[in-house]
Chains A and B, each alone.
Chain A
Amino acid sequence: MPPLIQFVNLSFSYSSSSSPILKNINLFIEEGEFVLLVGPSGCGKSTLLRCINGLIPNLYNGVYEGKVIVDGEIVKDKNISFLATKVGFVFQNPENQIFMFTVEKDIVFGLENIGLEKEEIRERLEWVLKILNIQHLRYKAPYELSDGQKQRVAIAGVLAMHPKIIILDEPTSLLDPKTASEFIQVLKELNKSLGITVLVVEHRIDLLCEVADRIIVMGEERIEFDGPPRKVLQEKSLYLYGVTIPPIIGLQNALSELNVKINGFHLNVEGISEEIKKEAHLE
């Protein structure tokens, strides 16, 4: 089975710029993967995402070479409304995508637009309210919601479309750490239980490295590292690509520089502290 998302020799330059922001990108994402995309600001992460749901080349002008294939469809040949049924996009600021008077109306907006039957719309609405645990928000106006609730409503509108892929551009940037961590758990649950492919751009690696299957590090114009978190986070030059390495990951890398090896490579404090206790014979 071919990968769900395929970038084949993709290059793109915005019409306002003389140099390409993406150059000869070859990238394949399998169905059901949870992928974290990181890199310095302005390196083209958001541009890469826009190439998946067709905002590029449909809405943004520029020089587009190569191709992107999503679920067997060549993105360039499809319009945005068709691609929206396959790819859901959650923006950094949920206020940019919630616009109806109530949560319920906002969630069903996309479904009505693609012409689904009333019964089908009702079923999907009930399902999404339940799965995201937002039944109590159903009749609330968006302005009555907290940022965390708004983010859930934004994802509900996207999820109701039954997309195969959900793309999120810095979804936790407006959330406090506790709300952000709860939101990430919701995402992982959707990925695990429904098999939805998740692609997240996020600078807060500490929140996501435990749930992601794969981390892709972008540099200027191209992909620098790509692999499972435990492998990618051990790369010595990550900081050159703007990656904020979580402190305990940095500690393990710093110990390894002095040839002090700890059994395994741990992504959370519990894991590394248990291993240090063993090494220091505290157990």
Chain B
Amino acid sequence: MIKTDSLYFKYAATDYVLKNINLKIGLGEIVALMGGNGSGKTTLIKHFNGLLKPTKGTVRVFDKDTRDDSVASLSKKVGVVFQNPDHQIFSDTVSNEVSFALKNFGFGEEVTKKRTKWALEFFNLTKYENTSPLLLSGGEKKRLCLASVLAWNPDYVILDEPTVGQDFLQKEKLREIAKMLATQSKTVVVVSHDVEFVWLLQPRVILLSDGEIVCDDQCANVFRNEQALQRCGVIKPQFVKLYEALPSLMDHPPIDVFEARSMLLKYLKEDI
């Protein structure tokens, strides 16, 4: 479990950018962290793998205070894919980028080879295995970072804006992998502005504003919480808006197109 107790954080000479964060994120959960630009989302996830240490309060990962653990050791348990892939990629080939952490963490040659192959295939990057990562498009670089982290199979996978630059099929894959990891008792924390992606994933949603937790609840409840959404600069998914416009035709906001269609079919005429 990741547990924060009265976590406060400030960069030197600034006001607190995280204030009194109390959270428990257990294994097998899918969590979305949402909020406006500058609300503290990225600062918070940097505490999960020890890149930042609290100014006040504690962060514990598997019951160990992150102040007493190294980033290297925490990284084995908590894999983070950053928003900007250029901050993360450094190897000379795509294949070496994926295998770097595996080798570093001491996986054997055979396992390293197999996992690298799996990750490249899963993220549709095999054709670039000998290419320099610098030559990939923005979306492909992002997928390479995802592949590199998932290859070593950490217990917590933290994804900062994973859908940026990703097309429909890649977003579907991301959703699939988040759900698959949860069934394996792994935890996925997604920082995202993409409300439609989050709505389809139906995770627990934590809304942040100005370094504080404004709301922490199931997706369906959070996206109906007008006041919290307004404060955090988050807009509603289209199907929540549709439900609110048509409350007598729908008994809850539909999750996807097919549910919406079946809810509405009985009220609409077939065009013969």
Contact = CB atoms under 8 A, between A and B. Distances in A.
Interface string A195-223: 00000000110100000000000000000
A250 interface: yes
- Contact-residue size bin, chain B (C-beta under 8 Å from the other chain): 35 or more
Most chain B CB atoms below 10 A, which of A174, A203, A261:
A203
- Contact-residue size bin, chain A (C-beta under 8 Å from the other chain): 35 or more
B267 A206 contact: no
A40 B264 CA distance: 31
A250 B257 contact: yes
A262 B37 CA distance: 38
Nearest to A239: B168
A282 interface: yes
Interface string A159-187: 00000000000100111111111000000
Nearest to A248: B238
Interface stretch (B22-30, B70-78, B94-102, B133-141): B133-141
Interface in A71-117: 92-93
Contact of A280 (B143, B167, B249): B249
B268 A259 contact: no
Contact of A282 (B136, B138, B167, B248): B248
A279 interface: yes
A181 B236 CA distance: 13
Contacts of B238: 206, 246-248, 269
A247 B84 CA distance: 27
A177 to B, nearest CB: 4
A150 B185 CA distance: 40
B139 A41 contact: yes
A129 interface: no
Nearest to A247: B238
A203 B246 contact: no
A244 B235 CA distance: 18
Contacts of A261: 271
Interface in B226-272: 233-235, 237-239, 241-242, 245-246, 248-249, 256-258, 260-261, 264-265, 267-272
Interface of B: 35-38, 83-84, 131-132, 135-140, 143, 161, 163-171, 193-196, 233-235, 237-239, 241-242, 245-246, 248-249, 256-258, 260-261, 264-265, 267-272
